[in-house]
Structure 1
Amino acid sequence: MTNEMETVERLTLENDTLRKRVAELEETVRQRDRVTQTIIDHVPALIFVMDLEDTYSHTSQSCAAFMGRQEVSEIVGHNAREFFPPEVFASWRENNRLVAAKGEAIVAEESGPGEDGVQVYRSIKFPIRDSEGTIRWIGGIASNVTAERRAEERLRESQARAQAMLDASTDLLLLVDLEGVVVMANQAAAGRLGCSPAEAVGMRDVFPLDEPARRASLVEEVRRTGTPARFDAARDERWFEVTAYPVRGGDGLPARLAIFGRDVTEQRRAAQEQRRLQEQVIEAQRLAIQEIGTPLVPLTDEAVAIPLIGAIDEVRAAHFLETMLRGVDARGAHIVVVDVTGVSDVDAHVAEVLVRAARAAKLLGAEVIMTGIRPAVAQALVDLGADLGGVVTLASLQDGIAYAVRGKGRAPSPRRGVRA
């Protein structure tokens, strides 16, 4: 009997000790759960654990608030379909099934309702296994990235608008780094490169910076001066006026080059055409002036007069001889009155022209009457040794005309092609 009582007392003591140990362990677990819950409640991300049937076993306070509940206890033990629209629940549940099937974590963007519209979350979902290695739960950490995605969308829209504005320009617009790599290109520039604006990004040493030496020179110039650099470039028989603007980085130094190339082909062609037309006008004016400056004046059926005015260069000399000989031949003239009253200067060239005119007229059977030789001109002719033998000289054009009209000089002789 004594032994039995001792055994009962010993078992009772061991049982009390065991219950006390279990209570201590349970308290330790509760403390750990409180610590864990406190930690996850202070994390702004949504944290949750659910079984494979989509029932929550753990959630953070932020997750409860996201689902419109005050306490975590209002979420734990409930199924996710109770809190979300069917289409949202179906999308999230599909990702949970994917984690369970793959047995590894995934990262996905998931959408959910919010006070100011649809919210976007970057979710990390991962499997949780039991002691035997079997997947029993799905854990998740979801961070709200709505602001970032909206900012990115605004940035994309802004870039799209900027790209559309740039593409509307017929000028070549490029943004390149200092190594000549394209960062941005508009449609006009990409078209010259034979690609799309997106395909142009990353290309190196492209028109109008396709010459590395030119690019290096531009980089050095904008670094040194900090001001735009300008140059001309040509491609496929097109001409461009190019300006390279420095784009500064955070340190205030040029980090990129903004290239603006304007196609000036039509303007240059128009300018060339204008110059050609101007040259034609000038030539026509010159010829007209020559005609005016060397007129052939009929005096009688057999006499003509040619007054010379101004300086006589080689072109005017040739025109004078041609006019005189053509007039003599066409009119059958026997007397040519050459008036030099208006000749501004007499040099060896002018003297030679007068001598050649007299000889040429003589070969056609005509007599040359030279009028208006001033004393200074006469002295110049003597000093130059001009041979005017056979040339009748009179004081004035009036005297020459009177001489020609009276018919003085040698008697006319019949010539072929001469009119009566």
Structure 2
Amino acid sequence: MIGDIYRHLGGMFDGCPDPLLLVEGDVVVAHNEAARLALGEASSLLTLFDAADRSVVSSACAAVASGQSQKSTFFARLATGTANRWTTWPTGHGGVCVRMDGPAEPRADIPAPLSPLVEKDEPVPLRTVLLGKIFDRFEGILWAIAKDGTILVSEGKGLAHFGLAPGAIVGMNALQIYPPGSVAREETERALAGEELYGDSIEGMSYWIRRLTPVRDAAGNVSAIVGFSLRANENSEETLQAKALIRALAELPLAIWAMDADGTCKMSLGNGLKDLGIMPGELVGTNLYELYSNREDFKADMKRAFAGEQFVSGTSFATTHWRNTIIPVRDTFGERVVRIYSVAENVTDHVENHRRLEEQLALIQSQQQAIVGLSSPVIEVWQGVLVVPLIGSIDQARASILLERLLTEVVGRQSSAVILDLTGVDTVDAEAAQHLSNVMRSVELVGATGLLSGIGPSVAKTMVDLGVDMQSRRTYPTLAEALRRLIGARKR
């Protein structure tokens, strides 16, 4: 039947100056001389076209073949890449004529500043149609601004988040409606100056990512910019938390950095960096092994980290002190460490305060020892006889210092007797009494005789009430009596 139609068309078909095909389904039943010269000998219609546009061709032919449309005009690229405008109409009995009308022209409604985006023979391909449909479903915004600031395009569902309808601000001047100092104004001016930008921002509880691209004319001058922004709120809570954390790092004395196994710095941020004279991001791309080649502590820490150990270490730079929490990150299979992260905290104030505290404690201990030495002097009153006059209260710290000094003197002087004189002690408690007993027992263990003198009535009563056993000790009412007894014993 289609062949009969072709014979009926006769010379009119062959004489058509434009490439013309008679098609049934996908089969090319006939073609004129112009089609043979332009398209070659083809038995399949779809094989003539680029794979991405074949569905457009098939849909257009099917529509006219089924009677849904009397004529269909579409744009499609040949397999050779050339884009053209095509027209198809029914011939009856399921057949269609397909005519190549010529190179595709840009749409007449494209604003002049954006015409560099559309090639002269570029049609609207299927991928553009599909992207448009996807764009209609996402919360995005597409806009274009001319060199003078005129808004040429303003489309997308995302505009609703800013209280705008698609196209509502087209024709207005962005440089007039964007406030000076705003991110929108700054990025627009930078893009119009020729800079391609990629950024993100938080608007309320929404997280937006955006791209601004300059459009250049044939001479290379910027004629307009095109921007696209997408609301990416699927993980908005995590994103907002991450953004808040990054902002907090700008205020806290921390430095966070990351390094790959080859030494390349992949991250460098945090307010703490300024204490090292480094700007955030300054070290990214730098090889830290080379930068700190003279730091053996850095090399040792990195060796531990890339061996898989997570740890905390301390280090110093000039007058600053840092505490580093180093975390290794392994590859997907967990076989090796591919990157380490470190959170470094400036603890200079803490270290300095600790150092001053230790110095103060050392001074206090030295003063205590001096006080003990003054209040409990060890005096050699006779060859081989030491006297220790005690004044004030006796506690654990004083008793320990006294015992250490006394034993050293006994051994060093080879003393045979030690007299503890309690004349200057008004009161004792159970702990003090025990300390005195320990001192006397220790003296006797190193071979000296221990004596107690000057025990007053109140001290004696307290010792009896506390049950302190002094019967085994040699006790005398005064130091003089103790010395007389000791000297007398020697003369005998």
- Asked which structure has the greater CA Rg, the reply is 1
State whether TM-score is above 0.5: no
TM-score by length of 1: 0.40
Q: Which has the higher helix share?
A: 1
TM-score by length of 2: 0.35
